[in-house]
Amino acid sequence: MILDGKKTSSQIKEEIKEELKKIKEKIGKVPGLAIVLVGENPASKIYVNSKIKGCAELGFESFAHYLPENVTEEDLLNVIRDLNADEKVDGILVQLPLPKHIDEKKVVETIAFSKDVDGFKPENMGLLFLGDKNSIKPCTPSGIVELFKRYELEVEGKDVVIIGRSNIVGKPMAGFFINEGATVTICNSKTKNLAEKLKGADIIVAAMGVAKFVKADMVKDGAVIIDVGINRTEEGLFGDVDFENVAPKCSWITPVPGGVGPMTVAMLFKNTLSAFKRNKKLV
């Protein structure tokens, strides 16, 4: 059965829209999301445009900052410092990847803790691993958890295998599952006997960026499969899972597109709303 990220994200966005309307009636203000795009990366441009469109649909104010590919690191950091100080801005998103001459770590460090709606700052990552409810959680893992909640899928006691140990997906995903009482294995490109590990998993999260890597014979009957991968190939867009052959074997699976992707965007808006409520002392 399909874990429908498109439908679920629409529900979440509808809920946010309703809440926003009520807040606006009460205090006359709406959350502001600043989006910074450096350069001309076509995929990044599409993501940024869809986020700006989403802001308008939901009733957020958006502030887009387009900087040239050759912007200096200091100039970018100054833009972020200005946004940190801007009361109309509740969340700051710097679209990744950044050009090579810019240190991503410095950029993330410069974003104010209270406006880190991507949840990438070390403080937020630390709070997540401590199971602290006040952390702002990275959008992709957070969207996956939301799918588990809304489809009422059990996590406690399950064996989870995550393929990928990136700071934005694999690692925070592990934190979520550990907090929920699952037993978690995090794999990477050096992992031995990956197929064997996958075969024992109740839940697989594939976040590696290799088209159709997870095959039917690597998957246990009835497993839950979460496909994070976005791989644009000459044959089209594919996830990290061989969906066609894996889907008949598992109990639940996210499609690509229409699974994790739209959930990620919905969680960005949810995080921005939470940051706004915290900044305006509404919670």
- Catalytic residue status for 51: yes
DSSP per-residue codes, 181-236: T-EEEEE-TT-TTHHHHHHT-SEEEE-S--TT-B-GGGS-TT-EEEE---EEETTE
72 vs 188, beta carbon nearer ligand NAP: 188
Interface with ligand NAP: number of residues (CB under 6 A) = 25
Smallest separation (angstroms) from ligand NAP to the CB of 212 = 12
> What are the distances in angstroms from CA 61 to CA 34, 56, 269?
8, 7, 11
Single out the residue of 32, 54, 138, 164 in contact with ligand NAP (rule: CB under 6 A). Answer: 164
**Looking at 15-23, 115-123, 124-132, 164-172, which segment touches ligand NAP (CB under 6 A)?**
164-172
Encoded amino acid at 176, one letter:
F
DSSP-derived 3-state class of residue 163:
strand
Report CA 29 to chain centroid distance, whole Å: 26
Smallest separation (angstroms) from ligand NAP to the CB of 24 = 29
27 vs 237, beta carbon nearer ligand NAP: 237
Single out the residue of 48, 80, 187, 201 in contact with ligand NAP (rule: CB under 6 A). Answer: 187
| Rounded to 5°, angle at Cα 260 from 258 and 261 | 70
Please tell me which residue in 4, 118, 227, 240 is annotated as part of the active site: 118
Bridge pairing between strands 252-253 and 224-227 = parallel
**267 near ligand NAP (CB under 6 A):** no
Q: Which residue is nearest to ligand NAP (CB)?
A: 166
**Looking at 53-61, 117-125, 222-230, 244-252, which segment touches ligand NAP (CB under 6 A)?**
222-230
Smallest separation (angstroms) from ligand NAP to the CB of 154 = 23
- Catalytic residue status for 133: no
Tell how many helices (H) and how many strands (E) occur in the chain: 10, 10
Single out the residue of 179, 185, 231, 279 in contact with ligand NAP (rule: CB under 6 A). Answer: 231
| Rounded to 5°, angle at Cα 52 from 103 and 84 | 45
**185 near ligand NAP (CB under 6 A):** no
| Interacting residues with ligand NAP between 114 and 143 (CB under 6 A) | 140
H-run or E-run covering 238: strand 236-238
30 vs 169, beta carbon nearer ligand NAP: 169
Encoded amino acid at 148, one letter:
F
Contacts of 157 by beta carbon, 8 Å cutoff, 6+ apart = 181, 182, 183
Bridge pairing between strands 159-163 and 203-206 = parallel
**229 near ligand NAP (CB under 6 A):** yes
Single out the residue of 121, 165, 212, 270 in contact with ligand NAP (rule: CB under 6 A). Answer: 165
Single out the residue of 37, 107, 155, 208 in contact with ligand NAP (rule: CB under 6 A). Answer: 208
* Alpha carbons 210 and 227: distance in angstroms, whole number: 11
- Catalytic residue status for 11: no
Residues annotated catalytic, as ranges: 51, 95, 118
* Residues found near ligand NAP in the complex (CB under 6 A): 140, 163-166, 168-170, 187-191, 194, 207-210, 228-231, 260-261, 264
